[in-house]
Amino acid sequence: MKRISIFGIGRVGLPLALVFADKGCKVIGMDIDKEKLEIIKQGKMPFLERGAEELLKKHINNNFLITSSVEESVKNSEYIILTLGTPVDEHMNPIFSQIEGAINEILPHLKQGQTIILRSTVSPETTEYLKGYIEKKTEFHIGKNLYLAFCPERIAEGYSIEEIPEIPQLIGALDNESIRKAEELFKIITEKTIKSDARSVEIAKLYCNMYRYIDFAIANEFMMIAQSFDRDIYEIVNLVNKDYKRSGLKQPGLAGGPCLYKDGFFLINKTPYNELISTAWKINETVPAYLIDRISKKRNIKNAKVVILGLAFKKNIDDPRNSLSYKAKKIFKNEGAEVYTHDPYIEPEDLDKKLKDADIVMLTTNHDYYKRELDLDKIKALAKEDCIICDIWNIFGEGILFRIKKIKEVL
């Protein structure tokens, strides 16, 4: 039975802790957010994660314990997993203060034979940096009497419990014994592991996110080009993809969140040819302003009632971090609009009341809830006669990016 401590019981760390606990491991969770810890101790999930609350109720105070004591967490564990945030500063440079702070806290309590697993998204060479940092501050030697590995998560938020056993776990380290130790742990929860050196795995994790982000940028730029020719992108995407062997063109949408918008900047600090990643960021971050500019050419936004539907950064979750919905809200307010927001998981107020007498409706998150509960007929019954509807996700399936309620019209 493995004994594991997880630093950072958030959207990455908590589901991981529950999956390990469900496999019979003894897991200690630690976090600086005391309010969140109290919620978890009561057997309640502090965020939406399918299948997690059942596991939490089953294992809390049994295989899964909560503590705020670093010493207690470290000294009783064979494995120490760091699932901490790695934000960027105002210049888009990575900030590693959370990871460095956690390492400094655990160093005095480390014992020979323990394994440190870094699961946070980091810039290349971070594992090498941590090896040098630990060996400088202590008498440990990585690969001999203390072990260190980089094992990133590649899970779709909200589906961690389902996907952790399914997706191969990448394992990167600087020595064979650290790889062996990490693989021994993750084999408990997933059948397949893929091993490599730490730097390659660090880059692979970033490439996973950037490949998707650039895909979104291509779709969004193609959407803008199609609009310049007075055509909507959805029919064109269908023409490209339908029954074609080399299809794969994505539909447009708002691409945000705590990972996609920033992870590319972990890669380009040393790269002179960084235009692809930086341009993808510019395109995706500009989409709200582009859509609102198109709307403003058709009607005056000042004093208009605007309803933004969806605040999460992607569908069917309750995570608003770095959601472009808030950028759209800010732009509309700066233009003098009266802005109302709705999200079934974040602001689940009366949808009908929000839509009443709306001048502009923008669907910014493609929640399944809106597909089930909302259609054009409902908007017709509630909004103003000349309400402009912006459906970038093509939720209504009409293939029309902008629509005036009373007539089908491409702006």
- pLDDT, one tens digit per residue, over 104-140 is 999 999 999 999 999 988 889 999 999 999 999 999 9
Checking if the pLDDT of 410 tops 60, the result is no
CA distances (Å), origin 262, targets 209, 285, 311, 326, 340: 10, 11, 19, 17, 28
What does the pLDDT read at residue 411?
46
Angle of helix 126-137 versus helix 198-228 axis, rounded to 10: 140
- pLDDT value of residue 275: 85
210 neighbors 266 (Cβ within 8 angstroms): no
CA distance 266 to 276: 14
Q: Identify the DSSP state of 156.
A: P
What values do phi and psi take at 172, rounded to 5? -125, 140
Beta strands of 243-317 (E only): which ranges? Answer: 305-309
Torsion, CA 180, CA 181, CA 182, CA 184, rounded to 10? 80
Residue 267 has pLDDT above 50, yes or no: yes
Report pLDDT digits (tens) over 357-367.
999 999 999 99
Q: H/E element holding 239?
A: helix 233-241
Q: Average pLDDT, stretch 149-171? A: 96
Span 233-243, mean pLDDT?
Answer: 95
Contacts of residue 246, Cβ cutoff 8 Å, sequence gap at least 6 = none
Q: Which residue has the tokens 């440990």?
A: 140
Sign of the four-CA dihedral 368, 373, 377, 383: negative
pLDDT (mean) for 339-345? 98
**In this structure, are residues 167 and 154 in contact, taking their beta carbons and an 8 Å threshold?**
yes
Token pair, residue 98, equals: 């959370």
**Confidence band (pLDDT; 50, 70, 90) for 338?**
very high
Rounded to an integer, what is the distance from CA 222 to the centroid of its chain?
24
Residues near 192 by beta carbon (within 8 Å), at least 6 away in sequence: 168, 169
Which residue type does 66 have? I
Comparing CA positions, the residue from 396, 229, 225, 217 lying closest to residue 324 is 217
* DSSP per-residue letters across 200-227: HHHHHHHHHHHHHHHHHHHHHHHHHHHH
- Cα diameter, the chain: 74
In the prediction, which pLDDT does 407 show?
44
| pLDDT score of 269 | 66
The residue type at 344: P
- What DSSP state is assigned to residue 88? B
Nearest Cα to 326, choosing from 254, 389, 383? 254
d(C-alpha 29, C-alpha 10), whole Å? 10
Domains of the chain, first to last: 3-191 (3.40.50.720), 229-404 (3.40.50.720)
CB 201 within 8 A of CB 170: yes
Asked whether residue 268 carries a pLDDT value surpassing 80, the answer given is: no
Q: pLDDT band for position 265 (50/70/90)?
A: confident
DSSP, residue by residue, 21-75: HHTT-EEEEE-S-HHHHHHHHTT--SS--TTHHHHHHHHBTTTEEEES-HHHHHH
> How many Cα atoms within 13 Å fall on the side-chain side of residue 67?
17
Residue 320 CB coordination number (10 Å): 20
How many whole angstroms separate alpha carbon 183 and alpha carbon 27?
Answer: 17
Identify the pLDDT of residue 105.
92
Determine the Cα–Cα distance for residues 381 and 376; give it in Å rounded to an integer: 9
Strands 79-82, 169-173: pairing kind: unpaired
Confidence band of 380 (pLDDT split at 50, 70, 90): confident
pLDDT of residue 84: 82
